[in-house]
A = this chain, B = another copy of it.
Amino acid sequence: METSSGNLFADIPERLAEEQITPLLTAPNIRIERIVSRGHASPPGSWYDQPQAEWVIVLSGSAEIVFEGEASPYRLARGDHLHIPARVRHRVAWTDQSEPTIWLAVHYR
């Protein structure tokens, strides 16, 4: 039997020059990742424009996502989840600087 396991809250780096992305599951139609942010945000004017849809949840810390063309950011705190359809341009406007923001992202097609 093939199983893989781990803990989402283990081994959170104290310092991070860039966001840390750790693949947890990779299969043809799906990719599950842990993302750790420490105050990181998308560079100004930089947008994610993804060919696959994404379901994302914040499990520690907090963040703000902005969708292109919308005035207000979408704020995510612990437990908040959001579905981002393919090709919907968005960026991470802000993440918590006082504690790590731990995301679980499910990319699928």
CB within 8 Å of B: which residues of A? Answer: 1-10, 24-25, 27, 29-30, 32, 53, 55, 57, 59, 67, 74, 77-85, 88, 104, 106, 108-109
Oligomer copy total: 2
A57 contacts across to B, CB distance below 8 A: 8, 104
Contact B106 A8 (CB under 8 A): no
Residue contacts A-B, CB under 8 angstroms, 10 given: A1-B85, A1-B88, A3-B67, A3-B82, A5-B80, A6-B81, A10-B79, A27-B108, A32-B106, A104-B104
Contacts A1-B85, A3-B82, A3-B85 given; 4 further ones with Cβ under 8 A?
A: A1-B88, A24-B55, A25-B83, A30-B30
